Amino acid sequence: MDTQKKILVIDDEEIVRELLTDVFSESGFQVMTAENGLAGLEHIRQPGSRYDLVIIDMSMPGMGGIEVCRELRKLKPDQKIMIATGNYSTDDELSEMKKNGVEHVLRKPFNFNEMIGLLRCVMNCQ
């Protein structure tokens, strides 16, 4: 049985997708990426798709992070989600994230050691 945890990273910046793929892969995670919200949702819609965690960039052209969360919740109500952002979120944005089931907000630039520990906790906690 495959016990490797799967992460889907949805971010419009290629360098961020590549960096997170490298860091997560080296830490033992299986990583898939999508360049925007629509592509990310297509990954989720694939028959048999299962991700232990989805990390979504807050600010992307077209469909932003909160909108992706809303759509993702319709498809997979129990999906664990984290938002990544380089901006400080307003109270309204944080409230909307929590309402849509966001487990945690990752601040850019990332501290990779802290992030890996947090990912493990989020994926293993119920």
* CATH number for the domain harbouring residue 99: 3.40.50.2300
Is the pTM here over 0.95, yes or no? no
The answer to the question of residue 60 being in a domain is yes
| pLDDT tens sequence across 12-62 | 999 999 999 999 999 999 999 999 999 999 999 999 999 999 999 999 999
Task: Give me the domain span that covers residue 28.
Answer: 6-124
What does the H/E/C string look like for the chain?
CCCCCEEEEECCCHHHHHHHHHHHHHCCCEEEEECCHHHHHHHHHCCCCCCCEEEEECCCCCCCHHHHHHHHHHHCCCCCEEEEECCCCCHHHHHHHHHCCEEEEEECCCCHHHHHHHHHHHHHCC
